[in-house]
């Protein structure tokens, strides 16, 4: 199916691209022929990603930025335009998973969660909208939410709330731009074996979660990345406004 992705040198902006799901998505898109425009605050991680993509023959432009900063968002938008690359899609993947209940979630942390997980997607989508609307055969936005947006989990108030907001953002944009050829979808990954998880180790809460998965294993980053790449591509040309759980059957129980 993904041989019909339609990237063919077209640009895909991937945020949070220095590690984890974002890095895996960048690599999958590079394999599919996209020119990856990788955005992250982590310069070392971006350099490592660029090296891997170059080694595989993929085209990549790295852009260091803090997407909670409006001036950085404007700078990224200008830089993307100045590359001369025709932008096909945007993957809003940047985010932070904070662990707080309402009793210990201070207003400052709430604002940080909101800025990283939701406002950053709004700001960059809005800034890149003219390029996305001009994309050949229609542009695409994929927002990376979480299963926390679909099923409640203790002590994740800021994360779950902001990731839920991304789903409303997705549906609203899909409806607003349906007549303009812009598709907007979301994915909800479950627990994924990124470096952040493997470095921390799997604890008792994660082991309890494993019992709710239909195949009793956690996702690898590239398994999520292929779902993102599909929704971003022309292979998903009739899909818009949907939320795709990539969770090993967690939300099926």
> Which of 122, 159, 226, 238 is flagged as catalytic?
159
> Any catalytic annotation for residue 122?
no
Token pair, residue 62, equals 């790295």
Cα 173 from Cα 160, distance rounded (Å): 20
Determine the distance from the C-alpha atom of residue 29 to the mean position of all C-alpha atoms in its chain, rounded to a whole number.
13
Which DSSP symbol is given to 219?
Answer: B
Q: Can you spell out the DSSP letters for 79-137?
A: HHHHTTPPEEEEEE---------TTT--HHHHHHHHIIIIIHHHHHHHHHHHHHHTSTT
Angle between helices 70-82 and 120-133 (to 10 degrees): 20
145-149 long-range contacts, CB within 8 A, separation 24+ = 145/170, 145/186, 145/187, 145/188, 145/243, 146/97, 146/188, 146/189, 147/188, 147/189, 147/190, 147/245, 147/247, 147/250, 147/251, 149/188
Give the strand pairing for 35-40 and 59-64.
Answer: parallel
Distance linking the first and last C-alpha atoms of the chain: 28
Q: Mind telling me the catalytic residues? A: 159
């Amino acid at each position: 199916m993904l041989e019909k992705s339609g990237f063919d040198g077209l640009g895909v902006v991937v945020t949070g691209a220095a590690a984890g799901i974002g890095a895996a998505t960048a690599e999958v898109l590079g394999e599919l022929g996209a020119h990856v425009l990788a955005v992250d605050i982590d310069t070392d991680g971006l350099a490592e990603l660029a090296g891997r993509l170059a080694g595989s023959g993929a085209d990549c432009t790295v852009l260091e930025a803090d997407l909670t900063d409006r001036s950085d968002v404007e700078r990224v938008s200008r830089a993307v335009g100045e590359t001369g690359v025709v932008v096909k899609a945007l993957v809003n993947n940047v985010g932070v998973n904070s662990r707080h209940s309402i009793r210990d979630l201070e207003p400052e942390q709430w604002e940080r969660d909101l800025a990283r997980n939701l406002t950053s997607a709004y700001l960059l989508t809005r800034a890149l909208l003219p390029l996305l609307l001009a994309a050949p055969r229609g542009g695409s936005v994929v927002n990376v939410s979480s299963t926390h947006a679909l099923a409640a989990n203790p002590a994740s108030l800021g994360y779950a709330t902001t990731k839920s907001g991304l789903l409303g953002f997705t549906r609203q944009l899909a409806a607003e731009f349906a007549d303009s050829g812009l598709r907007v979808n979301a994915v909800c990954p479950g627990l994924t074996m990124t470096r952040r998880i493997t470095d921390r180790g799997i604890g008792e809460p994660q082991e309890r979660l494993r019992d709710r998965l239909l195949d009793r294993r956690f996702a690898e980053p590239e398994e999520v990345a292929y779902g993102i790449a599909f929704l971003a591509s022309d292979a998903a040309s009739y899909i818009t406004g949907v939320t795709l759980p990539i969770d090993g059957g967690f939300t099926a129980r």
